[in-house]
Structure 1
Amino acid sequence: MSVSPSLDPLVTRLRAVGCVFAEDEARLLVAGARTPAELDAMVAMRVAGLPLEHVLGWAEFCGLRIAVDPGVFVPRRRTEFLVRQAVSLASPGVVVLDLCCGSGALGLAVASALGEVELHATDIDPVAVRCAVRNIAAVGGRAYVGDVYQSLPTTLLGRVDLLLANAPYVPSGKVALMPPEAREHEPRVALDGGSDGLEVLRRVAAEAPRWLASGGHLLVETGERQAPRIVDIFAVAGLVPRVARCDEPEATVVIGTRPWEATTSRPGPPAVP
């Protein structure tokens, strides 16, 4: 912005509406505005409760700037742990599927970390898919509109090495308890996991073995208390489950691996530290 206003009045306005990191937000808003009038409009949107990422048009995730359109789920910092787990299990050249992809942040982050991959992404929300298309185009990714596996090309059956599924896992009765930024400005379909929070994840796990390559991995983010039930769900689906946890930020990821088949000619999975 050509004009550099004092941050103090902006910080005061942002603090008054409960912005915890008001100073950081003020700097980002000033940097993102091209004119004083645009800055005023952006601050007004933020004060009205629009998520900062929707005001700016992007979110920082795994060191990348991810485009996030209004109404699209904002990638959370805790989900970077899922990306790190996925990257540790793979090498360049793998086939990656970002299920319930939202903005496509997970697939893009994994592809950027590994280098050349074959990336596919899908989401039931066409607004999210349009956003994902823009984000993953730089790494040659393709995105589809559909419910879970519904719209994926059948050529992916049995070929997916990394299946990333940041599916909704908030129980329906607890969505109303989420922060207003989420429940009022992100699509409910990206938050509501059904009566116990696991309805979508059950569907994801049940079909995962058909899409996974031998030795391929399904990774899902979940709440710590839900993890034992997801372990059971993965086991019933024929996957070998394990739980990975991170204290900072607090994150829980359940990983399910399709067992290697004796007849496969693919090399074994890489060692995990």
Structure 2
Amino acid sequence: MTAASDSPLFPGVVGRLRAAGCVFAEEEAGLLLDAAADAPSLDALVARRAGGEPLEYVLGWARFCGLRIEVDPGVFVPRPRTEFLVECAVEAVPGAAVIVDLCCGSGALGVALASRLGAPERAVELYAADIDPAAVACAARNIARLGGRAFQGDLFAALPDAPRGRVDVLLANTPYVPTDDIPFLPSEARDHEARVALDGGADGLGVMRRVAASARDWLSPGGVILVESSDRQRDAAVTALASGGLEATALSSEEYWSTVVIGRRT
């Protein structure tokens, strides 16, 4: 617990958050107290959180792979389970020099991987792309500190030609929630995040298959694409990457409660 817990306002904030159903009320209260400039601003922040707005939007940032990533309202919030994808990428290509973060959202994956690989001290080319202009604006701020550039558009069409055939790691956190499952998502995602960041089509793999079909053209020899999926989509996702001419495998982590599908250009 931070020093914010010593504030006389702390118990009241915790009480309001608990009443709103926040499971980690004490932790969130500390973060909100740290973020507030004064009592009126604290009241406004707590009201937003108690009203159901994601904590990351209220704070303006999310913690991912030990880094503080700026997150704007409406932009996909990086999930802790996706840290497994970054771990897999580091292990797959520890010397990667060219990284593309496709369907980038806040750019969290690209920032985390480039940082793990030594950027900015070690030169890494980092490109990010998303179809959502709000996500691109957010990602641009996050990756700029590593010399990265963000582009708006539909998948690979958004990218400049420079990285084509040179990409060592293609991070593609494509939306993978089946359309019919969207109404059953937690309200924080369903009501606040952009639908385009969540909806993967009929079986959840519509966008992923489009990426898989073109990924080989962008990868360097030995380069890899990594995609997060659900466990039930695992086999179909492996098939999609294999159909795109890649050597495909899948890894799962009980620690992260995550499944990552990997395709390598051989």
Q: TM-score, normalised by structure 2?
A: 0.95
Distance in 1, matches of 2:10 and 2:95, equals 44
Structure 2 counterpart of 1:193, from 154, 179, 200 = 200
Deviation, 1:94, is 1.2
2:62 aligned residue: 59
Structure 1 segment 227-246 matched on structure 2, within 5 A: 227-246=234-253
Aligned partner of residue 71 in structure 1, secondary structure? coil
Kept in 2, the 8 Å contact 1:122–1:129? The answer is yes
Residue deviations 1:15-56 (CA, integer Å, cap 9, x gap): 112111111000000011111111000000001110000000
Deviation, 1:156, is 1.4
Deviation, 1:8, is 1.6
Structure 1 counterpart of 2:37, from 9, 34, 39 = 34
Distance in 2, matches of 1:195 and 1:5, equals 51
Deviation, 1:92, is 4.3
Q: What is the letter of the counterpart of residue 215 of structure 2? A: A
1:71 aligned residue: 74
| Residues 1:10 and 2:17 are matched in the alignment | no
Distance in 2, matches of 1:46 and 1:93, equals 39
Q: TM-score, normalised by structure 1?
A: 0.92
Indicate the larger mover: 32-41 or 86-95: 86-95
| Residues 1:103 and 2:106 are matched in the alignment | yes
Unaligned 5+ runs, structure 1:
260-273
Distance in 1, matches of 2:60 and 2:42, equals 14
Residue deviations 1:198-233 (CA, integer Å, cap 9, x gap): 000000100000000111000000000100001111
Aligned partner of residue 83 in structure 2, secondary structure? helix
Distance in 2, matches of 1:68 and 1:231, equals 31
Aligned partner of residue 112 in structure 2, secondary structure? helix
The alignment-based identity, stated in percent, is 59
Aligned partner of residue 185 in structure 1, secondary structure? coil
Kept in 2, the 8 Å contact 1:93–1:118? The answer is no
Q: What is the letter of the counterpart of residue 134 of structure 1? A: R
Deviation, 1:143, is 0.5
Structure 2 counterpart of 1:225, from 205, 229, 232 = 232
Residue deviations 1:176-203 (CA, integer Å, cap 9, x gap): 1000000111000000000110000000
Unaligned 5+ runs, structure 2:
none
Distance in 1, matches of 2:20 and 2:255, equals 26
Aligned partner of residue 236 in structure 2, secondary structure? helix
Kept in 1, the 8 Å contact 2:130–2:158? The answer is no
- Once superposed, what is the RMSD of the aligned Cα atoms? 1.2
Aligned partner of residue 158 in structure 2, secondary structure? coil
Distance in 2, matches of 1:122 and 1:30, equals 34
Indicate the larger mover: 112-121 or 162-171: 112-121
| 4+ residue runs over 6 A deviation | none
